[in-house]
Every structure is written in C-alpha cells, then in structure tokens.
Amino acid sequence: MINDQEKIRWFDLAVKFQIDGMIFLTMKSRKNGIGSWVIEDVDSHKVLNSNMEWEDDLPIDKRDQAFTIRTRFDFDAAASMYEQYKMFAESA
C-alpha cells in the first residue's frame, strides 16, 4: 500500500494541467468521487488562495482546516478562480 506522500506525487503526475507558464491546476486528492484541486506555481511552491493571494503550500502535517478551505477547490471553482485571478492581475 502506498503512503500519503506517494499518493500526492502520483496525483501530481497523473492529473495536472498547465494553465500559464509554471502555473498548474493540480488535483491533490479525491474523496467520494470529487477531486480537490489547487492552483499552484511550481517555481515558487505557492498556491493561490480564495483571497487571490499566493501562499506557501504547506506539508500535509502542517495544514489545518482553514488552510484547506482557502486553497482547495472543486475543478469548476478552481478554473473559475484562475480566470478571475488573470483578470485581476491584468488590471493591476
């Protein structure tokens, strides 16, 4: 049986979509048939949160519920949020 770190590495390799430069939409876990997605900058090891801010992607043992709520989304919400981020970034 594979451990959690191996599962995350497998998901990173199996379900990752490049959306701009080194920014990817990546499934980090799947529960009850629903994926948990992040928008991640793989160069800086940061994830986009629901406040449209980049923050460090914490190791599993350091994540609390607030972090998960802020940084993990269903696919449609993540894709929509990235589109909003692009509009926000272009207007800044």
- What would the pLDDT profile of 14-34 be if each residue is shown by its tens digit? 567 778 888 999 988 777 777
pLDDT(7) > 80? no
Q: Which of 8-12, 22-26, 74-78 has the lowest mean pLDDT?
A: 8-12
How many CB atoms lie under 10 A from the CB of residue 75?
Answer: 15
The model scores a pTM over 0.85: no
Question: HSE-up of 60 (CA within 13 Å, CB side)?
Answer: 9
Domain ranges of the chain: 4-91
